Amino acid sequence: MHVENRAYAATDTRAGWLPALASRGNGRAHRLFHPLCGATPDTLVRLLLKGGIRPGRLHVAATALAMTALRLPFTLGEAATVAALLRLRPEPGPAPVFVVGHWRSGTTHLANLLSRSDSFGILSPMSVGLPAEALGLARLARPFVEQFFPRTRLIDAMPLRPDLPQEDELAMANLSTLSCNHGLYFPDRLQAEFDRGVFLDGVGTAELRRWRGRLVRYVAKMTRAAGNRPLLIRNPANSARIPLLRAIWPEARFIHIHRDPADVCASSVRMFATLIRELSLGPAASADAQAAGLVQAVYPRLMAALHRDSALLPPGRFVEVRYEALRQQPMHEIGRVHDLLGLDLSAPSRRAMADSLRAARPHVPSHAGPGAPVLDWLRRHPELFQYWNYALPDPPVPAPASRQGEAMMPPAPHQVGPGQPMQGHRDRP
């Protein structure tokens, strides 16, 4: 059995009556059990009342409503229990460590490695899928549900295991109406939900207060569940939320991983297009064109916000990692991150990371680069390359006549204008 399935082997031993692991891996359970099946009642109702569900997906919305109703006793019970515990022990736990960077920059690879350290707690797939019942129903259902986990993520070949960290954005999309993931579920408002969920555009005080309160309670209960260790939280959307997160946790630390912008853009377009096709409840549209427009709008603005806000962090609170260096010298980079952030890296943690690297399947990056419209757009944003000393891509080769009909990327708002270089800074030990 592959190393990545050891956790599943343990589950087989505990629950031999469950379906065999051969039933895993088709990766299509989300088409019936949509992520919103784990939403709280108020969140789900508010989202569905906005509309945008096509007839062919009404059964998915109905399933989510039924699951929410069935979970209600567990939802209310855990909310009451957590509230009582926080009243008895109101002292805040340790501040999280946030892994940030644009989607497809290597946040998952970095977080997976760091999660082998015994210094961190993590957010497991079950705890983000059922965030309101993470300590109760999620634990009860885990042995059964994990039998049907796909072996890899929907968007790539990265392993999906119960002991690997997941994004807190998945949890907040089920706890709050404020999440960029809602744009993937309802792509007719894709850009609007990203602008709201990532950059907080037009978000009212009451909605932001509700989002913040639920995030704080979720992180508090998961920190206690992790033995009061700091949570390792990876989430690209947090790249634009540093001031908001520091207002909650002044001692929070941030690790930014960056990668060649051409690779990031090409991979992000493929990823968002896949997620829109697989998770959308809304009208069918050109997922590729929508994904390309989204990346064009979000990438420069996200990076500008991250660099502006990270430059204001005090020493020992921010470090940057080059994706290519992490691939070439992973243990050196991991050690550097721990040193600069003042984190402990024990000998057992080092061994666990080294074992994880040896057991991992060889990384085979995609050689599919960005299309001509993306390359043309990237060349108009040299600041994205200059900051990290990446080479500007060559001009796009003119498409042959048979490909002239390919969709072009639409103009996007919120771009960092050409000739406006972002202010860089070094790691601050």
Residues 92-110 pLDDT 10s: 789 999 999 999 999 999 9
| Mean pLDDT, residues 254-276 | 94
Tell which residue, 198, 303, 299, 301, has the closest CA to residue 245.
198
Percent of the chain clearing pLDDT 90 (strictly above): 63
Residue with structure tokens 């690879």? Answer: 109
Q: Is the confidence at residue 404, as pLDDT, over 70?
A: no
pTM confidence score: 0.84
Residue 22 is predicted with a pLDDT of: 37
Percent of the chain clearing pLDDT 70 (strictly above): 79
Residue 264 is predicted with a pLDDT of: 93
Residues 285, 287, 288, 289, Cα dihedral to 10°: 50
| Mean pLDDT, residues 376-382 | 84
Q: Is the confidence at residue 155, as pLDDT, over 70?
A: no
Helix H segments across 226-286?
242-248, 261-279
Task: Order across the sheet with 97-100: list the strands.
Answer: 232-234, 97-100, 253-258, 318-322
Residues 277, 279, 284, 286, Cα dihedral to 10°: -40
Residue 255 is predicted with a pLDDT of: 98
Query: Residue 69: which pLDDT band, with cuts at 50, 70 and 90?
Result: very high
Phi then psi for residue 45, to 5 deg, are: -65, -45
E-only strand ranges, 70-197: 97-100
- Name residue 179's amino acid: S
- What's the chain's average pLDDT? 84
Query: Residue 394: which pLDDT band, with cuts at 50, 70 and 90?
Result: confident
Q: Is the confidence at residue 21, as pLDDT, over 50?
A: no
> In sequence order, what DSSP letters do the residues of 372-406 get, joined into one string?
HHHHHHHHT-THHHHTTTPPPPPPPPPPPGGGTTS
Residues 416-427 pLDDT 10s: 443 343 434 445
Q: Which is higher by pLDDT, 341 or 372?
A: 341
Does residue 311 sit in helix, strand or coil?
coil
CA distance 252 to 96: 6
Phi then psi for residue 259, to 5 deg, are: -145, 165
Neighbours of 1 (CB within 10 A): 9
Residue 346 token pair: 């024990």
Residue 19 is predicted with a pLDDT of: 42
CA distance 408 to 404: 10
With beta carbons less than 8 A apart as the criterion, state whether 386 and 419 touch. Answer: no
With beta carbons less than 8 A apart as the criterion, state whether 256 and 321 touch. Answer: yes
Residue 380 is predicted with a pLDDT of: 85
Does residue 332 sit in helix, strand or coil?
helix
CA distance 385 to 171: 33
| Mean pLDDT, residues 295-311 | 95
Q: What are the CB-based long-range contacts (under 8 Å, 24+) for 15-20?
A: 15/143, 15/144, 18/143, 18/144, 18/147, 19/147, 19/148
User: Which domains, ranges and CATH numbers included, belong to the chain?
Assistant: 3-12+28-403 (3.40.50.300)
Neighbours of 377 (CB within 10 A): 23
Residue 89 is predicted with a pLDDT of: 84
| Mean pLDDT, residues 296-308 | 94
Residue 3 is predicted with a pLDDT of: 32
Residue 284 is predicted with a pLDDT of: 67
Residue 283 is predicted with a pLDDT of: 80
Alpha-carbon torsion (156, 322, 94, 43), positive or negative:
negative
| Mean pLDDT, residues 328-334 | 94
Residues 235-253 pLDDT 10s: 999 999 999 999 999 999 9
Q: What are the CB-based long-range contacts (under 8 Å, 24+) for 359-364?
A: 359/3, 359/4, 361/4, 361/157, 363/327, 364/157
First to last CA, the chain: 42
Q: Which is higher by pLDDT, 247 or 282?
A: 247
Q: Which of the residue ranges 330-334, 353-357, 404-408 has the most confident prediction, judged by mean pLDDT?
A: 330-334
Contacts of 224 (CB under 8 A, 6+ apart): 85, 89, 93
Residue 212 is predicted with a pLDDT of: 97
Strand duo 232-234 + 97-100: pairing: parallel
